[in-house]
Amino acid sequence: MEEWQSVFEEWFPKEINKSYPIKISKQYTSSQRWEIYAKLTKKQRELVDKHRRYLISSRFMEEHYLAATDWVFSDFKINPFFRTKRSQQKLYCECGRELKVQYIVKSPKTGKILKLGINHFADHLHVSPTVAASIHQGMTKVDLALDELLWLKQKNIDFPEGLWQKYCFVLYQNRRMKQPYLPDIKLAQRLAEFRQVEMPIYIADYQALENEIKKISEHINGQPKKRQIKKELFDDFAEELVKDVEEFLINYRAFLRKDWQSIVYEEVPVHPNAYFETFISVLRKTKRQRTPEVTAQMEYFAKNQRFIQPKIYLFIWKQYCRYGFTEGFFDSIPRIVRNGFLKVLRKEREAI
């Protein structure tokens, strides 16, 4: 077992008898499906609706259901308490019929909007019976795709927190590798959304995450240099990751580069050492304070220097305020800047 794996298992002991399904064979009836859906929390329903919206939109685009009309799919709404005693705003078709699911289409030419039931596309949009049947079949396939999430929830399958922590852990280790792995941003973003609302994830996403961890682990295991891992720094990393996964991992990928391309503002410094010496001097003068006066001064410096993107310049300063010139600081900043800082600081120590 690799050293990093031993550390991880010490920090996050495996839960006994905790496994994730590898397949499902359940197909719900409409009433069963909506019964489970109604038991979800509001945020969980919003997440499922978001994925339903994506699947429906993809169906309409890929199958060209409305290509022969002046209409495009715009949105949909669900009344989870359809025909129950619970108070809820009702949804209706253009014909006046109360709906469980309301499909909204829009005319790009006129801006007109129609709200329809699944069985009324032919009546109101004048599509052929064949196309109307295809739309109905397509929406049934969307329901079947989402049945997986509902089945997992019904079986009390939780979000795979242990696997997520392992993913965060290998990402943390990956930052200092000579040949780091570039993570899949969309996958991580999707998983973080499910984690936030305490929903199980798609089986395919579980397998994709396992594969992502495996690829990163191979890079870590091939690294000859061993580093002591500090729990508090990993916790900081994992906490920052979930605040805004997309922005964090975009920066993460950019910061791994060994050149200036990912962070350059207008031009690459002609004399990098002199630039880093000046930058270090500016940071030290702030005394790691983030008062309004210091913040205004650093924002001015960020805008008037011509090498590092102002947003990244300020990020580096904030990390300095948090950590000083310690491991936490060097772990979290762009590689090209880290190497430049370390070179200057090493030169300072040698001169003493």
Domain boundaries, the chain: 3-15+159-255, 30-154, 272-351
Q: Which of 238-252, 266-280, 313-327 has the highest mean pLDDT?
A: 313-327
Structure confidence at residue 16 (pLDDT): 55
Render pLDDT for 144-164 as a digit per residue (tens, 0 to 9): 889 999 999 999 999 999 999
- Amino acid in position 188: A
Question: What's the average model confidence in pLDDT over 28-51?
Answer: 92
For every residue of 6-49, DSSP letters joined together read: HHHHHHSPPPTT----S-------HHHHHHHHHHS-HHHHHHHH
The separation between CA 285 and the C-alpha centre of its own chain, rounded to angstroms, equals 36
Exposed/middle/buried for 29, CB within 10 Å: 0-12, 13-18, 19+? exposed
pLDDT above 80 for 196? yes
Between strands 91-92 and 101-106, the pairing is unpaired
Question: What's the average model confidence in pLDDT over 25-53?
Answer: 91
Question: What's the average model confidence in pLDDT over 233-259?
Answer: 91
Of the pLDDT bands very low, low, confident and very high (cuts 50, 70, 90), residue 226 is low
Structure confidence at residue 322 (pLDDT): 96
Helix locations, 70-128, DSSP H: 121-125
- Amino acid in position 175: R
Between strands 72-78 and 91-92, the pairing is unpaired
102 by DSSP, 3-state: which?
A: strand
b or e along 76-102 (b: 16 or more beta carbons within 10 Å of the residue's beta carbon)? bebbbebeeeeeeeebebeeeeebbbb
Nearest to 154 by CA among 28, 15, 22, 14: 28
Question: What is the total residue count of the chain?
Answer: 352
Nearest to 238 by CA among 180, 167, 186: 167
Of the pLDDT bands very low, low, confident and very high (cuts 50, 70, 90), residue 186 is very high
Question: How far is CA 123 from each of CA 65, 69, 110, 226, rounded to the nearest angstrom?
Answer: 15, 13, 20, 69
* CB contact at 8 A, 3 and 226: yes
Span between the terminal Cα atoms of the chain, in Å? 42
Residue 127 neighbours by CB distance under 10 Å: 20
- The overall average pLDDT reported for the chain is 89
Question: How far is CA 289 from each of CA 25, 165, 331, 349, rounded to the nearest angstrom?
Answer: 58, 32, 20, 24
Structure confidence at residue 325 (pLDDT): 96
Task: For residues 119 and 96, give the distance between their C-alpha atoms in angstroms, rounded to a whole number.
Answer: 13
Render pLDDT for 251-263 as a digit per residue (tens, 0 to 9): 999 898 888 888 8
Task: For residues 318 and 322, give the distance between their C-alpha atoms in angstroms, rounded to a whole number.
Answer: 6
* CB contact at 8 A, 195 and 161: yes
Question: How far is CA 210 from each of CA 156, 167, 179, 187, 221, rounded to the nearest angstrom?
Answer: 21, 8, 20, 11, 16
181 by DSSP, 3-state: which?
A: coil
Structure confidence at residue 122 (pLDDT): 87
Render pLDDT for 278-335 as a digit per residue (tens, 0 to 9): 999 999 999 999 999 999 999 999 999 889 999 999 999 999 999 999 999 999 999 9
Structure confidence at residue 88 (pLDDT): 66
Lowest mean pLDDT among 31-45, 101-115, 195-209, 252-266: 252-266
Task: For residues 287 and 285, give the distance between their C-alpha atoms in angstroms, rounded to a whole number.
Answer: 5
Q: How many CA atoms lie within 13 Å of 219's alpha carbon, on the beta-carbon side? A: 19
